[in-house]
């Protein structure tokens, strides 16, 4: 698996788009790095940039961006709502795929060393890149901000990890580290009061608020036996939050960093802020994301709000994203485009989904053209997806049927499983055509000498094995949807029993059609053991499908007659 890391530097400029573009141009100048998002904020005077790529390329792009920011941004003139200490205020690296946090931390240290030595900027490590756990917290490192760091940096305990122990007047200092995926999330309030916004922030953030005697605002701070402030923790773990006023929109916000969205997801943060705001006579009017969000965070939010409405959660991915977006009010302040704000969508290679992104007419016309692909394999996968979709439809209709509330959870869960099978089969539509194309490419390889002939033969064999494995996967996926269709025929909404019956017929076609492809591709393999094994496995799936689907079709026919 290719190693991928994400980098999310925060630059202390949020109004001059030409200046920001000069920085992002440096990032895009590194081949192999993909710029995912540029999110400027006027009130914070800060821009959050997100890019991704292989580790060495990412740290090269990050270095160039930090260097350009130091040239262009003068911290002596900077003002903004957000805490900051330098032109590049913070630069975290986040593991995406094929790389551990420990490896990512080493790349952060490598980047920090280069910035400190070559740019003479004081650099502090944080989170997983910082071996000293007493100074790995970003907010503690940044305490005192730009203005206070001229004195702070002289203290022995605040000597930089890299670079000079003299604060850089123009560029300030920077913090570089490795961390888990963080969601920067702001929640909008119907007030301009920063005091009220901070009260809500203190209610929910993990650090909570200091405990006071008597009056919670003016009372004397309570100390423990060691002389430390006693704190009343907030309701949310892995959550940092402050309140601020955004001049641009004329509202106060709760600005949050959700440092582990698996512990505190966005929908839970939203709901907790709603509760606190309501208790203080305030109302949440919406929210906004700064940077990107993982797809599963949006899907879980969508499911949460559907469950609150007592509706089935077995709806499409697109509908889950839509309900999350509307429920969280993500489009209140500006248009929220899921294709631009969800990290998986930004990284998606749509060329690999060419067929399933066609409309029905275009897909049928492409199939009917003189091109040999898409052919029977892709059509089998698509027909199988329709079979799973029909079973999912019956499950959703059953979940929503009045008087069937006791069975709601069962049908909702069945619909969710159907959506997963449907999506996997849709993905196989393009996979089957890609497998066919790999065989064609292998046959087109040169064969002018013995070495080329051997390489060509090996490539054909490898591609042909893959072309057997894809339809076998289609067979198994299509067969698995009978576990959904059977209970829909037997105890689902009987007004839709024929829909489930047609779903079974689709499964039969998908399995037998994919079986044809396994046979025809296995026939050309030189590895006869592999060929025999995959044919035997495919035949077993086909026989089970035939037996079970025939019984289900008989039940449908008996009900109709």
CA 277 to CA 279: how far, in whole Å? 5
The verdict on residue 447 lying in a domain is: yes
Tell me which of 224-233, 263-272, 338-347, 383-392 is least confident.
Answer: 224-233
State the total domains in the chain: 3
- Each residue's pLDDT tens digit, 283-297: 999 999 988 888 999
Residues 18 and 92 in one domain: yes
pLDDT at 2 over 80: no
The verdict on residue 325 lying in a domain is: no
Residues 206 and 170 in one domain: no
Here the CATH number for the domain that contains residue 49 is 3.30.990.10
- The residues, ordered by sequence, that sit 6+ positions from 426 with a Cβ below 8 Å of its Cβ are 356, 381, 382, 385
Quick one: pLDDT at residue 131?
Answer: 93
The candidate with the shortest Cα–Cα distance to 469, out of 416, 503, 432, 504, is 432
Q: Which residues pair with 117 in a beta bridge?
A: none
- The residues, ordered by sequence, that sit 6+ positions from 56 with a Cβ below 8 Å of its Cβ are 107
Residues 194 and 299 in one domain: yes
pLDDT at 1 over 60: no
For residues 6-21, average pLDDT: 94
Q: What distances in angstroms separate CA 544 from CA 5, 66, 386, 422, 486, one per listed residue?
A: 44, 61, 20, 20, 14
The verdict on residue 337 lying in a domain is: no
Q: For the chain, count helices (H), then strands (E).
A: 18, 13
> By the 8 A CB rule, do 222 and 208 touch?
no
Quick one: pLDDT at residue 351?
Answer: 79
Quick one: pLDDT at residue 531?
Answer: 95
Residues 293 and 242 in one domain: yes
Quick one: pLDDT at residue 139?
Answer: 86
Quick one: pLDDT at residue 168?
Answer: 87
Quick one: pLDDT at residue 106?
Answer: 97
Which among 39, 78, 82, 203 is annotated as catalytic? 82
Residues 169 and 213 in one domain: no
> By the 8 A CB rule, do 425 and 351 touch?
no
Burial (0-12, 13-18, 19+ Cβ within 10 Å), 137: middle
Quick one: pLDDT at residue 146?
Answer: 87
Reported as a pLDDT band with limits 50, 70 and 90, residue 134 is confident
- Taking CA 320 as the corner, what is the angle to CA 314 and CA 323, rounded to the nearest 5 degrees? 125
Residues 142 and 256 in one domain: no
pLDDT at 7 over 60: yes
Here the CATH number for the domain that contains residue 288 is 3.30.70.670
For residues 480-488, average pLDDT: 97
pLDDT at 255 over 90: yes
Does the model's pTM come out above 0.75? yes
The verdict on residue 335 lying in a domain is: no
Residues 119 and 198 in one domain: no
| Residue that is last in its domain, among 143, 178, 213 | 178
Is 267 known to be catalytic?
no
Residues 440 and 497 in one domain: yes
The verdict on residue 191 lying in a domain is: yes
The verdict on residue 50 lying in a domain is: yes
Here the CATH number for the domain that contains residue 464 is 1.20.120.680
> By the 8 A CB rule, do 221 and 229 touch?
yes
Cis bond upstream, residue 374 (ω within 30): yes
Which among 39, 89, 432, 499 is annotated as catalytic? 432
Listing DSSP states for 157-182 in one string gives GG--SBS-SS--TTTB-EEEEE----
Is 78 known to be catalytic?
no
Residues 381 and 412 in one domain: yes
Quick one: pLDDT at residue 80?
Answer: 80
| Residue that is last in its domain, among 178, 206, 223 | 178
Residues 385 and 509 in one domain: yes
Residues 447 and 392 in one domain: yes
> By the 8 A CB rule, do 468 and 374 touch?
no
Where do the H-state alpha helices sit in 225-316? 266-279, 295-308
| Residue that is last in its domain, among 257, 290, 309 | 309
> By the 8 A CB rule, do 93 and 9 touch?
no
- Percent of the chain whose predicted confidence (pLDDT) is above 90: 79
- Each residue's pLDDT tens digit, 90-132: 999 999 888 999 999 999 999 999 999 999 999 999 999 999 9
β-pairing, 46-53 with 34-41? antiparallel
Residues 244 and 191 in one domain: yes
**Which residue segment(s) compose the domain that 239 sits in?**
183-309
The verdict on residue 331 lying in a domain is: no
Q: What's the alpha-carbon Rg for the chain, to the nearest Å?
A: 29
> By the 8 A CB rule, do 411 and 398 touch?
yes
| Phi-psi sector, 15: left (phi>0), alpha (psi -120 to 50), beta | alpha
Reported as a pLDDT band with limits 50, 70 and 90, residue 202 is very high
pLDDT at 215 over 80: no
Query: Between 549 and 181, where is the model more confident?
Result: 549
Q: Supply the mean pLDDT for the chain.
A: 93
The verdict on residue 161 lying in a domain is: yes
CA 422 to CA 419: how far, in whole Å? 5
- Percent of the chain whose predicted confidence (pLDDT) is above 70: 100
């Amino acid at each position: 698996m290719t190693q991928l890391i994400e980098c999310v530097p925060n630059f202390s400029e949020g109004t001059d788009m030409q200046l920001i573009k000069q920085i992002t141009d440096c990032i895009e100048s590194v081949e192999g790095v993909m710029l995912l998002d540029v999110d400027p904020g006027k009130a914070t005077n800060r821009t959050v940039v997100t890019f991704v790529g292989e580790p060495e390329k990412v740290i090269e792009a990050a270095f160039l961006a930090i260097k350009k920011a130091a040239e262009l941004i003068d911290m002596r003139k900077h003002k903004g709502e957000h805490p900051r200490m330098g032109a590049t205020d913070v630069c975290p690296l986040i593991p995406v795929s094929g790389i551990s946090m420990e490896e990512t931390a080493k790349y952060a240290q490598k980047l920090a060393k280069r910035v400190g030595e070559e740019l003479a900027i004081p650099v502090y490590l944080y989170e997983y890149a910082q071996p000293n756990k007493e100074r790995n917290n970003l907010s503690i490192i940044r305490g005192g901000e730009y203005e206070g760091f001229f004195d702070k940096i002289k203290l022995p305990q605040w000597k930089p990890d890299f670079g000079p122990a003299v604060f850089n007047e123009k560029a300030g200092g920077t913090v570089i580290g490795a961390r888990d995926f963080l969601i920067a999330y702001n929640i909008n309030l119907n007030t301009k009061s920063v005091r009220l916004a901070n009260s809500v922030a203190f209610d929910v953030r993990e650090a909570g608020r200091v405990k006071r005697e008597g009056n919670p605002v003016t009372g004397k701070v309570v100390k423990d036996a060691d002389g430390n402030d006693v704190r009343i923790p907030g309701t949310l773990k892995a959550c940092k939050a402050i309140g601020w006023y955004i001049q641009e929109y004329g509202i106060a916000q709760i600005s949050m960093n959700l440092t582990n969205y698996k512990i505190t997801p966005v929908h839970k943060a939203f709901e907790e802020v709603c509760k606190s705001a309501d208790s203080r006579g305030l109302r949440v009017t919406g929210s906004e994301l700064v940077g990107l969000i993982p797809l599963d965070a949006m899907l879980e939010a969508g499911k949460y709000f559907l469950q609150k409405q007592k509706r089935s959660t077995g709806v499409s991915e697109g509908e889950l994203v839509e309900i999350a977006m509307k429920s969280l009010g993500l489009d209140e302040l500006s248009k929220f485009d899921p294709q631009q704000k969800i990290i998986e969508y930004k990284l998606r290679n749509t060329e690999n989904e060419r067929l399933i992104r066609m409309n029905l007419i275009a897909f049928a016309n492409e199939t009917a053209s003189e091109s040999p692909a898409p052919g029977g394999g892709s059509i089998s996968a698509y027909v199988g997806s329709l079979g799973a979709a029909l079973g999912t439809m019956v499950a959703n209709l059953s979940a929503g049927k009045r008087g069937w509330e006791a069975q709601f959870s069962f049908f909702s869960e069945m619909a969710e499983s159907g959506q997963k099978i449907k999506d996997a089969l849709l993905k196989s539509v393009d996979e089957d055509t890609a497998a066919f194309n790999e065989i064609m490419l292998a046959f087109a390889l040169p064969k002018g000498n013995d070495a080329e002939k051997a390489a060509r033969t090996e490539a054909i064999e490898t591609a042909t094995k893959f072309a057997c494995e894809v339809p076998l996967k289609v067979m198994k996926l299509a067969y698995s949807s009978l576990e959904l269709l059977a209970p829909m025929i037997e105890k689902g909404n009987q007004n839709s029993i024929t829909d489930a019956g047609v779903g079974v017929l689709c499964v039969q076609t998908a399995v037998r059609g994919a079986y044809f492809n396994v046979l025809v591709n296995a026939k050309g393999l030189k590895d006869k053991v592999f060929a025999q094994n995959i044919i035997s496995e495919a035949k077993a799936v086909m026989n089970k499908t035939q037996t079970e689907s025939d019984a289900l079709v008989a039940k449908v026919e008996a009900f109709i007659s």
